[in-house]
Structure 1
Amino acid sequence: MALALASTTTVAQARSEVDPVRVRAQLDFLAGPDLHGRGSATPDEAVAAAYVASQLQGYGLKTAPGMTGYLQRIPVLRQAQAGPVELLIDGVPAPDATPLRVVGGVWGGKVAILGRIAPDTKAAVLVVPDVGAKNADIAKARTQVGAAVTIVIADKDTVRATEASGGRPALPRYFPNETPTGRTSTVAVGPDTMRRLLAGAPTVTLSVPFTLAHDSTTNAVAYLPGSDPAAGVLLLTAHLDHLGIGADGTIWPGANDEASGTVALMEIARSMAMGKRPRRGILFVAYGSEERGGFGARWFGDHPPVPLKDIAANIEFEMIGASVPKLAADRLMMTGYERSDLGPELRAHGALIDADPYPEQHYFQRSDNYALALRGVVAHTVSGYGEVATYHTPQDTPDRIDAPYMVRAIESLLKPIRWLADSRFTPRWNKDGQPKE
């Protein structure tokens, strides 16, 4: 969708309004072909982080307390696939097996079938023949039997999962000081293989050749000091990575997910930097590696430039390039709206936000805000619609963004965020609102 530009713009308007041309230019760069989809923990992601950092620095923002620059570089270990993944049933390869998420090594043994598990059964492999089985029931059964491998029937959801990973199985990534325990593999199979698994009591082996690779992911971090050191800090965030390049060489641009939120972060930073100094300090952070384990947010939570207890609230901006079908055309949704008193207060001060109308999608747990929420920070994501047709596809390009909606969304957040930065209101979790798991 083309972005409209007024023929004349006064200085006052330029200081108070979001410029559609600048928004489109930033979007085109971040989601353009030269950044190759900003794959998590890749050099392209690092370039995107450096670009965001340079923009924030150019607005006059400072380095965060205790930091000497605008970038946090984060070490990540990655299991890299070193050969074909193979599923063997009684020693015979399953030709229709599609690995979805796998752990390097050789796994397998006795099979248990969901819905037919006797008490005290222990098995290395859990077979799920029902495409309608609930994730919670699968997880419970997997824990009950101690399975390291789960085999499901291939369907449209597993096809979507394979496409969303760029045609490659997802292998674990972790911080160098972590022990990757408790991780399991999931493989989808066709109906012929499922019939073989259900016909008897086979022995199943999953072989995943791998090597270890040392990567790094990058956060861009900038700080707007507040006028009252005792007022705490507001944390505004987005994630700057996407899925990169698929197995077939196709670029996954990630314009809506999540160049749009990153542009919103930069535009809000620009507006706040040009205005009156806020009472609270504001940290602006663009995280790396959200798509592959939330490493940027988790690292930030473990290494915050200010104590977490001093962060009054965290607002993440994500996928604001498409309106929410279940809401009015100009509205945004806030994930976990009912969990704290932040959403109603922002709404009372002009924010065009409503409660998340898709609780079954668990969006609150699926964004970077969750890493901070688990640590006690009142943290939510403000979003447009996530499940658009281009979501996690190579078609998520700048020309498919609803540009007027995106510009209006950014403009609608400026006043309420300014209020929150100047306010004496400190958000609190509602009863049982803070996540614990």
Structure 2
Amino acid sequence: MRHVQVLASDRFEGRAPATAGEERTVAYIAERFAEAGLQPGGDGGGWTQAVPLVRARVEGPVVATLHVGGEDRALANGEDITLQSLSPVDRVEVERAPLVFVGFGIDAPERGWDDYKGADLAGKVAVVLINDPDFETPEPGAFDGRAVTYHGRWTYKYEELARRGALGALIVHETAPAAYGWETVRASGLSPLFDIPRADAARHHTLLRGWIHRDTAVSLFAAAGLDFEREKARAQTAAFAPVALGDATLSAAFDVVRDEVVTRNVVGRLDGASRPGETVIVSAHWDAYGIGEPDASGDRIRRGAVDNATGVAAVLELARVFAAGPRPARSLLFVALAAEEKGLQGATYYAANPLTPLETTAAVLNIEMLSPDGPTHDIATWGNGRVSLEDDLGRIAQAHGRRRSPDPNLESGFFYRADHFAFARAGVPAITIGAGLDMVEGGVERGTALREAYFADCYHRPCDAWSPDWDPSGQVRDVELLYALARELADGDHWPHWHEGSEFKALREASQERRARPAE
């Protein structure tokens, strides 16, 4: 708890990338790695891996107006909409761009789905629904029922609309399909955006992007002569085709300040005793949301105590125990990843620029959001990974008198929202491990109520803060299981694998020969 208390203190200013809070965070983690007895595992024999990023932030007022049915309606940024841009411009100016509804904005030939039907989106702002078409349908369809696919994530929506040549993209926020409330959207939407440096950034991003509040969207549809719920139901079918929102257009103008910054992954290494060329990664993201808009009490620091100082504390403790011996057969990398909250940027950069070969990286154990509320009978993994690591964790939990619980909220898309996903996309067996819900005191009912209250009231907000009232005993039990799993992987000679049905199985198998004869 000392680690959490320090990392979530006001002095660390919410641990935003490229701030004084980052400097303190990186220094703290590196010092703890050194104290534990690890060796530096970063660039040039140092403790860090540089992660270059482009930062884009809205400067000054945002002016936005809906024109529909002969009337103009001013939109308040942060209330009716949130607007941003990652396009390489210093000012966004959109004048009466037509609005077109594109359903869920999905093009998935493998699922027999095309929401676009050849529509020309040049010069238009697309209005798109969050999540997948199956989320609210009575029976599962092409998108796995309520379990969200990558096509349901906001990142995919923006990427696909940029590929389609849209001028702008507005995602309709609805709390249940998004898995978080408008206040989370608002806090994120008023924060800087980050992206990797791109020579062709204009091709990868729409000029304008953001979210539109559901109430605003409903009134927009009505003014255009359309019923929002009826159009959403139509979008839940493969026959859907885009529809213009009547004569509705959007005008918007705001300044954008872009600069290049460097954030850092912090990396400590423990060389394997007999097979140092094989690696197990234990990771957690160190960043939170920094200083933002004040809450009702005037507090502006979004400290990220649960999300994710708890994960970093677990990595630091695991590093200390492993370094104390005995030395494992495989090497261990302990990595505090940067800019997860900005789109998994630190993990994505590492996967593209690995410090040890990905082909001989046996597994990634990523840690997120351990519970401050006491012990649970279970431990959870995020999403349905279709990976043998889930089975390994379940077996080890059972040996400790506990169990692994599958993600009870597959519709929230957590599999795509944590750093392990960046490694999975590169083929490396990876999972994110977090707190269970079946509390020793109060069972699933209490655990669910506490989690729902956290996401409703504190997620990405100032009240995600350390408290002396925390009960860390559940985190201790979870870290004991993590140690047992990491120890088995680091001492063993088997290679975790993706199960049938995983989209990452073929990619991993393509490098099988390298694992059969790893270079030491």
TM-score (structure 1 length as normaliser): 0.82
Counterparts of residues 136-175 of structure 1 (less than 5 Å):
136=152, 139=157, 146-151=165-170, 160-163=181-184, 165-166=186-187, 168-170=189-191, 172-175=193-196
> For the Cα contact (< 8 Å) 2:385–2:431, is it kept in 1?
no
Tell me the residue number matched to 1:59. 36
Gapped regions of structure 1 (runs ≥ 5): 1-23
Check 1:48–1:348 CA distance in 2 against 1; reply closer, same or farther (3 A cut).
same
Question: Structure 2 stretches of 5 or more lacking a match?
Answer: 104-114, 136-150, 227-245, 437-450, 508-520
What value does the CA root-mean-square deviation take over the aligned residues? 3.4
Query: Counterpart of 1:209 in 2: which secondary structure?
Result: strand
**Mean alpha-carbon deviation: is it higher for 272-281 or for 41-50?**
41-50
Match of 2:126 in 1: 126
Deviations 1:304-335 (A, max 9, x none): 221111110000011012579xxx92321122
* 413-422 vs 169-178, which moves further: 169-178
- Residue in 2 that maps onto 1:183: 205
Q: In structure 2, how many angstroms separate the alpha carbons of the residues matched to 1:127 and 1:370?
A: 27
Contact 1:50 1:71 in 2 (8 A): no
1:398 & 1:240 partners in 2: Cα distance? Answer: 15
Deviation string for 1:154-204 (max 9, x for gaps)?
665799344455374355422224533343413425365554455841332
Which of 106, 127, 131 is 2:93 aligned to? Answer: 106
Contact kept in structure 1, 2:42 and 2:266, CA below 8 Å: no
Instruction: Provide the residue aligned with 1:271 in structure 2.
Output: 321
Which residue of 1 is the match for residue 394 of structure 2? Answer: 347
In structure 1, which of residues 88, 91, 98 is the aligned counterpart of residue 65 of structure 2?
A: 88
Percent of matched pairs sharing the same residue: 26
* Residues 304-313 or 329-338, more deviating: 329-338
Aligned counterparts of 1:369 and 1:363: Cα–Cα separation in 2? 10
Distance 2:188 2:46 in 1: 36
Take 1:214 and 1:145, find their aligned partners in 2: how far apart are those partners?
27
Structure 1 counterpart SS, 2:248: coil
User: Could you tell me whether the CA contact under 8 Å between 2:281 and 2:364 is conserved in 1?
Assistant: yes
Q: Deviations over 1:313-368 (max 9, x none)?
A: 000011012579xxx92321122455111221233234753322221112111100
Q: Which residue type is aligned with residue 176 of structure 1?
A: P
Query: CA 1:409/1:231 → structure 2, altered by over 3 Å: closer, same or farther?
Result: same
Is 1:421 matched with 2:421? Answer: no
1:252 & 1:415 partners in 2: Cα distance? 33
Among 310, 313, 322, the alignment partner of 1:260 is 310
Matches within 5 A, 1:227-238: 227-229=273-275, 232-238=278-284
- How many angstroms does 1:152 deviate by? 5.8
Contact 1:254 1:392 in 2 (8 A): yes
Q: Size of the alignment, in residue pairs?
A: 410
Please say if 1:392 is aligned against 2:413.
no
Q: Indicate the residue corresponding to 2:511 in structure 1.
A: none
1:373 is displaced (CA, Å) by: 0.7
Once the two structures are overlaid, the 10-residue window that deviates more, 63-72 or 50-59, is: 63-72
Worse overlay, 293-302 or 106-115 = 106-115
In the alignment, which residue of structure 1 is the partner of 2:55?
A: 78
Give runs of aligned pairs for residues 269-418 of structure 1, distance below 5 A: 269-322=319-372, 329-336=376-383, 338-349=385-396, 350=399, 352-384=403-435, 388-389=453-454, 390-399=458-467, 401-418=470-487
Q: Is the 8 A contact 2:130 2:173 kept in 1?
A: no
Give the alignment partner of residue 257 of structure 2, picking from 191, 201, 211: 211
Is contact 1:313-1:427 (8 Å) kept? yes
The alpha carbon displacement at 1:242 in A equals: 0.4
Partner Cα distance (1:167, 1:307) in 2: 34
> How far apart in 2 are the matches of 1:311 and 1:435?
15
Opposite residue 94 of structure 1, the aligned amino acid is A
Q: C-alpha distance in 1, partners of 2:171/2:352?
A: 36
